[in-house]
Amino acid sequence: MTMCFVNAAGVLSFLSEPTTPKEQLFAGNHYEKPYVQRAGKWKVTTAEYKEPRYPDFCPGFGIILSWDVVVSFVKAFDFVPYFRMERCVCS
């Protein structure tokens, strides 16, 4: 079982800030171009993903997306291959 604590007051405060963008918002813990692990429990083969580094992404439970970002993700689902992960399939 995985648990996640959400500071609802903090989220609402962040979203109500005048400097928080209303479009193109992709907020969360940010990983910049992490290396692909080719060995060990979390290894990913070159057949699964050929590049040496992943694109930037926000991992975990705490991700906030504006509606336009959600729409762009949905449009990409038909073109981006599925990617195997431990507990889920990502696209």
Per-residue pLDDT of 25-63, as tens digits, reads 988 888 899 999 999 888 899 998 899 998 888 777 778
Check residue 36 and give its pLDDT.
92
pLDDT at 87 over 60: no
Indicate the average pLDDT of the chain. Answer: 86
Give the CA distances from residue 10 to residues 4, 5, 6, 33, in Å, rounded to whole numbers and listed in that order: 15, 12, 8, 28
Which parts of the chain fold into alpha helices (H)? 8-16, 67-76
